[in-house]
Amino acid sequence: MAFEPKREEKALKYEELRIYTDEELKNYSEEELKNFKIKHETPALDELEKGPWPSFVADAKREALHRKKLDADRMMTDKDAVDDLLGQLQLSFDHGETHWKHGGIVGVFGYGGGIIGRYSDVPEKFPAVAHFHTIRVNQPASKFYNTDYLRSLCDLWEYRGSGLMNLHGSTGDIILLGTTTEQLEPIFKDLTHVMDTDLGGSGSNLRTPSCCIGKARCEWSCYDTQAMCYELTQYYQDELHRPAFPYKFKFKFDGCPNGCVASIARSDMSFIGTWKDEIRIDQEAVKAYMAGDIVPNGGAHKGRDWGKFDIRKEVINLCPTKCMSLEDGTLKIDNENCTRCMHCINVMPRALKPGLDTGVSILFGAKAPILEGAQMATLTIPFMKVEPPYDNLKELIEKVWEFWMEEGKNRERLGELIQRFGLPKFLEAIGVPPAPQMVRAPRSNPYIFWKEEDVPGGWDRKIEDYRKIHKR
Amino acid sequence: MPTINVNGADIEVDEDGFIVDPDSWNEDVAKYFAAQEGIKELNDDHWKMINYLRDYYKQFQIAPMIRKLCKETGMSLKYVYELFPSGPAKGACKLAGLPKPTGCV
């Protein structure tokens, strides 16, 4: 089923929304840039303009020059924001220490998150970055844009912010980097009323969900990652904007086990596309690969001579479950023993495709090290069908949240709660029976808890009865 | 550090307007902050929340978790945002004179 957004998207036309004229946008020449010096001496940063990789310092200097040449009344924040940011960064390079103060609580009315307050600890030296708040803006699924949208956003941000951005934050948001407290409400108003765009998440709440490129342009995607990401983002707006959880919670949607948004490592609830039936094999294409007519891995290893493609060496012998074979030039897969690792499909994308009976595996509890050590997610739901409007998924999510919100300690990630309570307790809370797929290996120690009702006679025993048989 | 003047007394606050010393709080401070946080007038429910937060902080030296706060005051999170538009942390805790919430916000 094709994805249909529930509400009509507002069509943005840059020509109608623009703030700056073409002359203002192109207000400096390359010649001027060559001779341009920012307000502060930045010898360490200047070094970072050398070398082949795009230099953030060179980019920032362009923006500094651009702002210098804009009229001061054509922007609502300090002209020198970029100069002062680079100045403060140079000072941090000198000291080997940050110069941002601890914390910062700012926001917009109605929301408890979305904006990360930041203040300089040397505001007298760098007044233009005395306030330098970050705004998280919810990105479109998979980060597809048109230029009308981006140019409108850039004009808005030049007008009310520093002009610096992060595309994108690691959670997925568009990051608007650096503005003052007074500008927050006006920016929010412009974002919502004009750009039809909302803030992302921050704080102890549902953070901005993100997904891989999915069916938009990947033939392996086992479900519509974008549709699911969008639907759950919309459905859980309350949880995203108003922190109600013990700590942060992230969703990420991978279309297949290749994990292009790294959901298994960076989300509390990780959705990974998979299939139940057989890998589809095009034997003619397999032969073409073997004959060298099609390059393996879509040509990903062309940079070096790895010799002629050898299907035994590069596919069959690398299969982790050894469930593949070549019989009379025909590729066979014992699908019962395939773990859907994607390797053979990755090597021969034109010959092999995921099955057609697709869904998601759901894994829980990934997190960075603090407090109890880093965790990747644990497989909990081996397979689940997912179709709009995803009612089965929402039901599951709410059970998970109910359990975690009730039992979770202050600042305890779901992964830590599962560690503390044990996986069986978690399974019970979400109503899923234990299955062998949930563990890599059975426990090796014998400290096994039993429920009283599962043990004949229960726990109430009298020592006198025992003594009748066993003398002291 | 900036200061605010409430009824002739100078009270130290940080950039976000949170008072630095919780003991310098009084009811007039709460009233003073109300306008900044989008509150026209402090009603009984506002005071119920403020007093709850102050009592909890006095007892445990920490702000309560949101779920606890909702449960013990009997207010839904939605209602808390109706009372305090900038939310329990930036709104209610600030009015109650609690230290600024920290962490990965």
Concatenated DSSP letters of A19-51: -S-HHHHT---HHHHHH---SS--HHHHHTT-S
Answer whether residue A233 is part of any domain: yes
Q: Which of B15, B77, B87 minimises the CB distance to A107? A: B87
Does the pLDDT value for residue A3 go beyond 70?
no
Q: Do A143 and A25 sit in the same domain of this protein?
A: yes
B87/A242 Cβ within 8 A: yes
Per-residue pLDDT tens digits for A241-300: 999 999 999 999 999 999 999 999 999 999 999 999 999 999 999 999 999 999 999 999
- The verdict on pTM exceeding 0.90 is yes
pLDDT score of A240: 97
User: Are A237 and A162 found together in one domain?
Assistant: no
Predicted pLDDT at B2: 86
Tell me: the pLDDT tens digits for A202-223? Answer: 999 999 999 999 999 999 999 9
- pLDDT (tens digit per residue) in A290-348: 999 999 999 999 999 999 999 999 999 999 999 999 999 999 999 999 999 999 999 99
pLDDT band per the 50, 70, 90 thresholds, residue B7:
confident
Does residue A285 share a domain with residue A155?
Answer: no
Domains of chain B, each with CATH number or no CATH = 3-96 (1.10.10.370)
Identify whether residues A361 and A285 lie together within a single domain.
Answer: no
A106 interfacial to chain B (CB closer than 8 Å) = yes
pLDDT above 90: percentage of residues in chain A: 97
pLDDT value, residue B44: 97
Query: Contact at 8 Å (CB) between A407 and A246?
Result: no
A242: nearest CA in chain B?
B87
pLDDT digits (tens, 9 = 90+) for A43-76: 999 999 999 999 999 999 999 999 999 999 999 9
Which chain A residue has the Cα nearest residue B83? A110
Residue A36 predicted with pLDDT over 80? yes
Residue A209: predicted pLDDT: 98
Among the listed ranges A250-264, A353-367, B19-33, which one has the minimum average pLDDT value?
A: B19-33
Residue A104 has pLDDT above 70, yes or no: yes
Closest partner CB to B105 (pick from A105, A109, A238): A105
Q: For residue B93, give the chain A residue with the closest CA.
A: A105
Catalytic residues of B: 104
Instruction: Give chain A's domain count.
Output: 3
Query: Out of A119-133, A221-235, A456-470, B1-15, which region has the weakest mean confidence (pLDDT)?
Result: B1-15
Specify the higher pLDDT residue, A3 or A149. A149
Mean pLDDT along residues A24-51: 97
User: What is the DSSP code string of B35-87?
Assistant: HHTT-SS--HHHHHHHHHHHHHHHHHSSPPPHHHHHHHHT--HHHHHHHSTTH
Smallest Cα distance from A445 to chain B, Å: 36
Interval A25-41 mean pLDDT: 97
Q: Tell me if A6 is assigned to some domain.
A: no
DSSP-assigned letters across all residues of A75-91: -SS-TTHHHHHHHHHHH
The CATH number of residue A268's host domain is 3.30.413.10
Of residues A163, A94, A96, A91, the one with CA closest to residue A122: A91
> For all residues of chain A together, what is the average pLDDT?
96
Residue range A241-257, pLDDT digits in tens: 999 999 999 999 999 99
Of B85, B101, B102, the CB nearest to A109: B85
pLDDT for the residue numbered B1: 74
How confident is the model over B59-68, as a mean pLDDT?
A: 91
Residue A271: domain span: 206-275+357-452
Measured CA to CA, the distance from residue B89 to residue A439 in angstroms comes to 40
Report yes or no for ipTM above 0.90. yes
Co-location of A213 and A300 in the same domain: no
